[in-house]
Structures are given as structure tokens and as C-alpha cells.
Amino acid sequence: MPSLRIFVLNGPNLDLLGEREPHIYGTHTLADVEALCRRVLASRNVELAFRQTAAEHEMIGWLHEARRSAGIVINAAGFSYHSVPILDALLACECPVIEVHISNIHRRAEPWRAHSLLSGAAKGVIMGLGIDGYRLALEHLLQHLPTE
């Protein structure tokens, strides 16, 4: 049984990946993202908690659960731009947090999308690389796993 767990947490509308604005987000589905994450962790003794929600309070609960885990990869989607409660939950985390955005938020048409409130709580931010950003985030966390 794995002794370490990494959380991959996804925010609102990511359940529509592959259907919603494929010219921005691509044609991969959230199931494809989960399968990619599971492949990255397959040979490691690390459990994956992969979740998606459109409910801010649910995301906050998951962050509280994950705060002492081996790491968090978060694509907070629309929560990134306005959720101070999610920022506060991230700041309470004792593990490394990697923020992921499928699109490059600095290239988006809406100026408000270029600023994520959550980035200040993250060890690093990966954006604009499609779903490959999740792989890169997990690989980074794996290279920096806590020693027992």
C-alpha cells in the first residue's frame, strides 16, 4: 500500500474538457488527464487522489485533507481569479503546491484571466502546455518527495 499521496485537484468546468472550447483547451478529456497522471505514478509507491469540483467549499475541504500530503497539483480554473478562501486554504498547506493551467492565461483575451490569486501560494506555476502540464507537475513532485 502506498505510504505517500499526491492530490490532483481540478476546478469548475474542467469536467467539460474535450468539449468546451477545444481551440483553447484541446480535445483531451478529464479522463485522459487522470489516465496520464496514473501512468506517471504507476511505477512509484505514491497514491493518486484525482478530483474535480465546481463547488468552492468542496475544493477547500480537499485542500484541508491534502495539506500534509506529498504534494498538490491544482488547476483551480475559474477559482484562480477570485477565490480568497481557496488561497487561504492553499497557504495553510505544508506540502508543495504546483498550480497548472492548460492554456497560457497571459495570452487569453480577457485581461482578468492573466492574474491568478493562487500563484503566490504555489511553489511553481505551469501554464500553456496543455495537459502535459500535469505530467510535468507530478514529475517535479516525485523528484522532491519527502523522506521518511
Quick: pLDDT tens for 43-75: 898 999 999 999 999 999 999 999 999 999 999
Delimit the domains of the chain by residue range: 4-143
Q: What is the pLDDT of residue 1?
A: 47
Architecture of domain 4-143: 3-Layer(aba) Sandwich (3.40)
**Spatial contact of 66 and 93, defined as CB atoms under 8 Å apart:** yes
Residue keyed to cell 510535468: 136
> Is position 140 annotated as part of the catalytic site?
no
Going by C-alpha positions, the residue among 71, 43, 67, 83 that lies closest to residue 137 is 71
CA distance 52 to 58: 9
Beta sheet of 124-127, edge-to-edge order = 46-52, 4-10, 71-75, 97-101, 124-127
Lowest mean per-residue pLDDT among 37-41, 69-73, 114-118: 114-118
Stated pTM of the model? 0.94
What is the band of 41 on the pLDDT scale with cuts at 50, 70, 90? very high
* pLDDT tens digit sequence for 83-104: 999 999 999 999 999 999 998 8
Q: What is the pLDDT of residue 136?
A: 98
Set 23, 25, 64, 144: catalytic member: 25
Set 101, 106, 115, 140: catalytic member: 101
Average pLDDT, the chain: 93
> Is position 101 annotated as part of the catalytic site?
yes
State the CB neighbour count (10 A cutoff) for residue 76.
Answer: 25
Q: Give the β-pairing of 71-75 and 46-52.
A: unpaired
